[in-house]
Amino acid sequence: MDEFALIRHYFGALTAARSDVVLGIGDDCALLRPTPGSELAVTADTLVAGRHFPVDTAPFDIGWKALAVNLSDLAAMAASPQWFLLALTLPAADSVWLAAFAAGLRTLADQFGVALIGGDTTRGPLSITITAFGSAPAGTALRRSGARPGDLVCVTGTLGDAALGLQLRGAVVVPTEADDDERFLQARLDRPSPRLQGGLALRGLASAAIDLSDGLAGDLGHILTASGVGADLNAALLPMSAAFARVHVPAQRLQLQAAGGDDYELCCCLPPAQLAAAQTRLDLPLTVIGEINAKPGLRWHDTRAGAPAPVLHGYRHFYENDG
Amino acid sequence: MDEFALIRHYFGALTAARSDVVLGIGDDCALLRPTPGSELAVTADTLVAGRHFPVDTAPFDIGWKALAVNLSDLAAMAASPQWFLLALTLPAADSVWLAAFAAGLRTLADQFGVALIGGDTTRGPLSITITAFGSAPAGTALRRSGARPGDLVCVTGTLGDAALGLQLRGAVVVPTEADDDERFLQARLDRPSPRLQGGLALRGLASAAIDLSDGLAGDLGHILTASGVGADLNAALLPMSAAFARVHVPAQRLQLQAAGGDDYELCCCLPPAQLAAAQTRLDLPLTVIGEINAKPGLRWHDTRAGAPAPVLHGYRHFYENDG
């Protein structure tokens, strides 16, 4: 098989049957039937080796993560995922690498019923750009700009796991030597779960939402700016996984949970009257961590007895998410 | 200005006002209003420095070409262009480079009224992935699979200019020293004109179409395969620009015109009864170069007296188009 036959071979299996795909891979464009009465939500994110994932990341996980970070953007808008395009730049067409990469993509794509509809493959330094498409009934998509004073600031799941997993990566020489906590934290870094059910559950309830890719402080900052409001957050309330609680160094907690990045949880703002409904509808924990108010800026507090005032430093990953 | 403020500054001007853009740049996704009754056409192409354009290409031309090659795919489907996403990977945010790149994008985007609706910027080796969106009334998009025996094989414009321009590039040290022919050929390489009017003109007339990115032989081959047919082409009929006619080495003509690539003209198949209507509707020359027939394969002829049988070698650009 030549290089492009190889690629067709591995990615052909990703073209799930969907009645809204009129024409998939193999022509100049894909042809799609948009959902009547809906708005189309589209997003594109690029992952560059060594920047958005460690260079030793398994190809299965690279495929998974490249799609996951895009589906996470659809989740944040409360859009139902439909299709994706893959633009893959590879140093060489290696069939072992391609098979594992495609399997990672396919596993996640199948979980949410999204179909690969086209894209491009080219030779060059490893980089993956995925464009993901979804739909939301007109007027229902969640935006960053709707937060209002009095809204509760909430996050899904737990924060800081991926950042701690990245910090540990150097210490974990052979995966089989890692213990369960380390494996959990690595998986949170390498195979994030896009919170699509969470986004849909928040539709009609949340006033604003964003997905957490760069870290809570920076991403919530986008909501505050877009909405023209501020927030007071309680560092003591940031939700920790059991593994994070056992493994982390307490002095690093706030940095990891609020500025570490790669959480791919949702942060939303909710009028207090909607909290119970949101928590009932969501299939994962939704934790209140603070409140929106009219004074611009993000202020950190810590309600634990004797806790020092929390200070967030300008800490960044060795790589950073740009989008 | 920090890096991302710079990028917002340069690309903000690309968000043309369109009533079908509900929400553009600045949230997790763009929100779009698809055209009722239409199919959505989408395509993504990546350009890697040194592979899809010479490394000495001016940033204005890189911006232009990155959008042009994608609009060319919409043209080949007879889709009306609407929007695009830009995923830009840059070694560094250089304001002079960004201003020129954005100006190239904007000049072409404005020409066709397409709006930048989002994307991603990241640091890494220079690479540009654009996803372009268009629409076509349901059932009217031109595909590769509709060619039938007896159809005429036609091409828009002229072939081989870009390939000859690339061949000459090494010899053209300073642009001001280039003569008019050289400048024309360089412009055909660096600033291709997507044949959007041509695609729309062929709607309802052509049985199949493709845009010429890799060269006529390879691209027509995709139509033949998708349609289950063959073709006989007359090398003597391949249309040349006046500059190409003056500058090229005759022994290289077929290689440049049929395998050089980067033409970004349309190749279409037309029932003979539709030829006159197509030529009338098109705003550029449409030249008959051969005929579709039932026998699989692509056969070259040359009707000029004394011409040797044309032989196409496996010649490729120093870089090749993969999509």
List average pLDDT for each run of 10 residues in chain B, which is 323 residues long.
69 80 91 95 93 89 97 98 94 90 95 93 91 97 97 98 91 61 95 97 98 96 97 97 95 94 97 98 97 96 85 52 38
pLDDT > 70 in chain A, percent: 92
Q: Compute the mean pLDDT over every residue in chain A, rounded to the nearest whole number.
A: 91
E-strand spans in B76-173? 80-90, 115-123, 127-137, 152-156
Residue A319 has pLDDT above 90, yes or no: no
Strand partners, A30: B42
* Sign (positive or negative) of CA dihedral A155, A220, A170, A100: positive
Question: What CATH homologous superfamily does A3-137 map to?
Answer: PurM-like, N-terminal domain (3.30.1330.10)
CATH code at B152-301: 3.90.650.10
Per-residue DSSP letters for B52-74?
TB-TT--HHHHHHHHHHHHHHHH
SS3 A139: coil
CA–CA gap between residue A91 and residue A76 (Å, rounded): 33
Secondary structure (DSSP) of B13-51: TT----TTEEE-TTSSSEEE-PPTTEEEEEEEEEEEBTT
Enter the tokens of residue A174. 């052979």
- What is the rounded end-to-end Cα distance, in angstroms, of chain A? 36
Using the Cβ of A41 and the Cβ atoms of chain B, whether some distance falls under 8 Å is answered with yes
What pLDDT is stored for residue B2 in this prediction?
61
A89 touches chain B (CB under 8 A): yes
B28 CB-side CA count, 13 A? 35
Q: Do B323 and A117 touch (CB under 8 A)?
A: no
Find the mean pLDDT for residues A84-102. Answer: 92
**Residue A12 backbone dihedrals phi, psi, to 5 degrees:** -60, -35
Nearest CA among B107, B111, B83 for reference residue B196? B111
Band of residue A316 on the pLDDT scale cut at 50, 70, 90: very low
| B134, A29 Cβ separation under 8 angstroms | yes
Of residues A308 and A118, the one with the higher pLDDT is: A118
What confidence score (pLDDT) does residue A321 get? 39
Residues of B in contact with A40 (CB under 8 A): 31-34, 40
Chain A CB contacts of B144 under 8 Å are 26-28
Q: How far is A124 from chain B (nearest CA, A)?
A: 7
Nearest chain A residue to B38 by CA distance is: A33
Residues of B in contact with A210 (CB under 8 A): 28
Closest-approach residue (CA) in chain A for B322: A122
Per-residue pLDDT at A315 = 42
DSSP at A77: T
Q: How many helices (H) and strands (E) does chain A have?
A: 10, 12
With 0-12 / 13-18 / 19 or more C-beta atoms within 10 angstroms meaning exposed / middle / buried, residue B107 is middle
Find which of A3, A11, A25, A29 to mutate to test the B interface (most B CBs within 10 Å of its CB).
A29
Distance of CA B195 to CAs B70, B140, B260, B269, Å? 11, 17, 19, 16
Closest Cβ opposite residue A51 in set B73, B123, B323 = B123
Q: Phi and psi at residue B22, in whole multiples of 5°?
A: -75, -40
Query: Among candidates B26, B16, B13, which has minimal Cα distance to B120?
Result: B26
Interface contact B29, partner A, CB < 8 A = yes
What are the tens digits of pLDDT across the range A120-134? 888 888 999 999 999
Q: Is B119 in the A-facing interface, judged by CB distances under 8 Å?
A: yes
User: Does A21 score more than 60 pLDDT?
Assistant: yes
Of A48, A143, A226, the CB nearest to B124: A48
For residue B31, give the nearest of A27, A41, A85 by CB distance. A41
CA distance to partner chain B, nearest, from residue A215 (Å): 14
Residue A208 main-chain phi, psi, to 5 deg: -160, 155
Beta-carbon count within 10 A of A43 CB: 30
Six-digit token string for A172: 């974990």
Tokens for A77, please give them: 């808008």
pLDDT (0 to 100) of residue B193? 97
Indicate yes or no: CB of B34 within 8 angstroms of CB of A31. Answer: no
A28 shares contact with chain B (CB less than 8 Å): yes
CA distances (Å), origin A30, targets A124, B41, B80, B193: 24, 6, 14, 22
Taking CB atoms and an 8 Å cutoff, what residues of chain B touch A122?
Answer: 46, 48, 51-52, 322-323
Contact in structure between A42 and A133 (CB atoms under 8 Å):
yes
The Cα–Cα gap between B130 and A35 comes to 24
Give the domain ranges of chain B.
Answer: 3-137, 152-301
**Inter-chain touch A42–B210, beta carbons under 8 Å:** no
The interface residues of chain B toward chain A in range 168-227, judged by CB-CB distance below 8 A, are 209-211, 226
Q: How far apart are CA B148 and CA B204, in angstroms?
A: 15
Q: Looking at residue A55, what is its pLDDT?
A: 85
Q: What is the DSSP letter of B204?
A: T
Q: Which of A220, A214, A247, A230 is nearest to A322 (CA)?
A: A214
The residue of chain A nearest to residue B33, with distances taken between CA atoms, is A39
Tell me the pLDDT band of A1, cut-offs 50, 70 and 90. Answer: low
Residue A134 — left, alpha, or beta (φ > 0 → left; ψ -120 to 50 → alpha)? beta
Q: What is the pLDDT of residues A154-213, one digit of tens each?
A: 999 999 999 999 999 876 544 555 689 999 999 999 999 999 999 999 999 999 999 999
Rounded distance, CA A239 to CA A245, Å?
A: 10
Q: Are A289 and A243 in contact (CB under 8 A)?
A: no
Nearest CB neighbour to A143, from listed B27, B33, B74? B27
Give me the long-range contacts of B168-177 (CB less than 8 A, separation at least 24): B168/B247, B169/B54, B169/B56
The predicted pLDDT at position B92 comes to 86
Measured CA to CA, the distance from residue B64 to residue B193 in angstroms comes to 9
Residue B83 has, within 13 A of its CA and on its CB side, a CA count of 29
**Contacts B122 to A, Cβ<8 Å:** 46, 48, 51-52, 322-323
User: Which chain A positions have a beta carbon within 8 Å of B26's beta carbon?
Assistant: 144, 226
Residue A254 clears pLDDT 60, i.e. is over it: yes
CB-count exposure of residue A287 (10 Å: 0-12, 13-18, 19+): middle
| A77 touches B: beta carbon within 8 Å | yes
Task: Name the pTM for this structure.
Answer: 0.91
Q: In this predicted structure, what is the pLDDT of residue A4?
A: 61
Report pLDDT for A301.
Answer: 94
Please name the helix (run of DSSP H) or strand (run of DSSP E) that holds residue A122, with its range, or none: strand A115-123
Return the SS3 of B145: coil
- Pairs of residues, one from chain A and one from chain B, whose beta carbons lie less than 8 Å apart: 191
Q: Which residues pair with A32 in a beta bridge?
A: A21, B40
3-class DSSP assignment, residue A80? strand
Q: How far is CA A208 from CA A134, A265, A304, B24, in A?
A: 18, 14, 28, 16
